[in-house]
């Protein structure tokens, strides 16, 4: 394996260039890789969030039930498990940057095609295929930058990449507010999806500017980019619990991300503009949570960061859905801490998963565990869609808190990795 026992510092950490910040220690090539991963993941978020924001219009246009609407969103997450596995294997075999370009091009293409879908069946198909690119982008980008980063700052650098999700989400909310105020709902949802082609232009930057970090020579006798290899021996146990952790965290996250816009409009009777305002509080909290969660992950450890924010996110999600009717002001205030907690828990993922696997299997392990969690976690928003018929959207959303309980259980079987060298 390329990892070594946990340690808190390295010789590199003592260099002057490292002392002044999480990004300043990166080489010029590392900074370009950071921009590539940050931009790719932010655009990934933009494309993903188009559907939750436009879900009211899509549901009305195709006259589908809440259960079908939940499946429409969950199918992207289901297929992302396959996309993450394929992208991880490709990244370990053909390189991180090449694979990153392929994943971005894939999700951009199928997001555009969603906007052109003439019926629900084709929209469902294109949304599913979007998952192939959606599933691979984050894992590949996170590994690309993790291999440039010094151990002391790896959690913070990975968290900065994770924070681009909030940036992309905010951009999607802004576009949504403008589009749905200028166009009818029947046309607005199509325009929203068509803007998803923009990430394809970012591939040009990746092709010209970004290169993989130098990696250790890997003996031919050792498996490289092998799915079976991450399932054997001690790595098999690691893979199981890492996938369970990702399932719980993302089950809770995507429950809220999928249903919150619809909840605010249908259950809380907010307008498009007011919905955007409430989401702005949530997204602001999310952005701060990503950043501070990364600092905590480097200071108190990966597992402690996961545990603290799993408890906080579960409690705040339950509190948010139990706010009584007529108390929308309290709902607005709770948005910031909820966004903070349920995003800060993600900050350690990029560093933690990279540190769990050896170089020759790193992208495969990270791509599979994170996106297996997405795929299985997709059952949460789908279940909410069907439970909403009996308990209402708000009552059904409380089901997502169960995901954070699963995450706490998974931590029991995982090691602490803060400070590990990757090469």
Read off the pLDDT of residues 291-345 as tens digits, 9 standing for 90 and up: 899 889 989 999 999 999 999 999 998 888 888 877 778 888 888 999 999 889 9
| Calpha distance 380→386 (Å, rounded) | 10
Angstrom distance (rounded) from CA 201 to CA 104: 9
Contact 64, 385 (CB under 8 A): no
Q: What is the pTM of this model?
A: 0.74
pLDDT of residue 7: 39
Which pLDDT does position 322 carry in this prediction? 82
Separation of CA 132 from chain center: 14
pLDDT score at 246: 94
User: Rounded to an integer, what distance in angstroms lies between the CA atom of residue 139 and that of residue 84?
Assistant: 7
Structure tokens at 79: 């297929």
Q: Residue 217: its pLDDT value, please? A: 42
Tokens 């929308």 belong to 328
Which pLDDT value is given to residue 78?
83
Q: Which two tokens stand for residue 236?
A: 């098999």
**pLDDT for 224:** 61
What confidence score (pLDDT) does residue 4 get? 41
Over residues 103-120, mean pLDDT? 91
Residue written as tokens 């998952």? 131
Q: Which two tokens stand for residue 6?
A: 């946990």
Contact of 235 with 357, CB cutoff 8 Å: yes
Write down the pLDDT at residue 82. Answer: 85
- What is the signed CA dihedral for 336, 341, 343, 345, rounded to 10 degrees? 170
Q: What is the mean pLDDT of residues 157-176?
A: 88
Across the range 373-401, mean pLDDT stands at 81
Considering the chain, what is the average pLDDT of its residues?
83
**Closest to 369 measured CA to CA, from 333, 410, 423, 398:** 410
Structure tokens at 118: 């003439």
Burial of 388 (0-12, 13-18, 19+ CB in 10 A): buried
* Residues 6 or more apart whose Cβ sits within 8 Å of residue 96: 140, 141, 143, 144, 147, 212, 213, 363
Tell the residue number behind the tokens 């609407």, with chain if given. 69
Higher pLDDT, 141 or 192: 192
52 versus 305: the higher-pLDDT residue is 305
Question: What average pLDDT does the segment 83-104 reach?
Answer: 88
Q: Token pair of 158, please? A: 């990975």
């Amino acid at each position: 394996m390329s990892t070594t026992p946990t340690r808190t510092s390295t010789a590199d950490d003592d260099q002057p260039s490292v002392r002044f910040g999480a990004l300043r220690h990166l080489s010029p090539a590392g900074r370009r890789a950071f921009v590539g991963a940050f931009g790719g993941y932010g655009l990934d978020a933009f494309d993903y969030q188009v559907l939750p924001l436009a879900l009211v219009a899509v549901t009305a246009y195709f006259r589908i039930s809440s259960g079908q609407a939940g499946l429409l969103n969950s199918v992207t997450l289901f297929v992302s498990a396959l996309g993450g596995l394929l992208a991880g294997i490709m990244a370990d075999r053909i390189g991180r940057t090449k694979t990153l370009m392929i994943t971005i091009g894939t999700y951009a293409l199928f997001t555009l095609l969603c906007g052109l879908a003439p019926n629900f069946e084709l929209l469902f198909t294109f949304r599913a295929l979007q998952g192939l690119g959606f599933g691979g982008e984050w894992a590949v980008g996170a590994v690309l930058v993790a291999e440039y980063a010094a151990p002391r700052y790896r959690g913070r650098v990975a968290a900065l990449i994770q924070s681009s999700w909030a940036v992309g989400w905010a951009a999607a909310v802004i576009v949504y507010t403008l589009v749905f105020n200028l166009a009818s709902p029947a046309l607005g949802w199509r325009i929203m999806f068509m803007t998803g082609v923009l990430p394809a232009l970012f591939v040009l930057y990746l092709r010209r500017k970004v290169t993989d970090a130098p990696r250790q020579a890997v003996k031919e006798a050792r498996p490289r980019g092998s799915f079976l290899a991450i399932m054997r021996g001690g790595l098999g146990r690691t893979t199981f619990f890492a996938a369970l952790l990702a399932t719980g965290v993302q089950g809770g996250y995507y429950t809220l991300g999928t249903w919150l816009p619809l909840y605010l409009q249908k259950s809380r009777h907010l307008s498009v503009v007011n919905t955007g305002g409430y989401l702005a509080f949530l997204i602001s909290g999310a952005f701060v949570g990503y950043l501070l969660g990364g600092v905590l992950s480097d200071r108190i450890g990966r597992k402690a960061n996961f545990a603290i924010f799993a408890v906080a996110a579960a409690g705040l999600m339950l509190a948010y859905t139990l706010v009584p009717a007529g108390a929308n002001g309290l709902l607005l205030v709770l948005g910031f801490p909820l966004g903070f907690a349920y995003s800060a828990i993600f900050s350690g993922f990029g560093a933690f998963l990279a540190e769990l696997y050896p170089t020759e299997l790193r992208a495969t392990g990270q791509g599979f565990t994170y996106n297996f969690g997405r795929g299985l976690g997709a059952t949460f928003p789908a279940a909410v869609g069907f439970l909403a018929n009996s308990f209402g959207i708000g009552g059904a959303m409380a089901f997502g808190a169960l995901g954070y309980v699963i995450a706490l259980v998974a931590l029991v079987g995982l090691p602490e990795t803060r400070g590990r060298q990757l090469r």
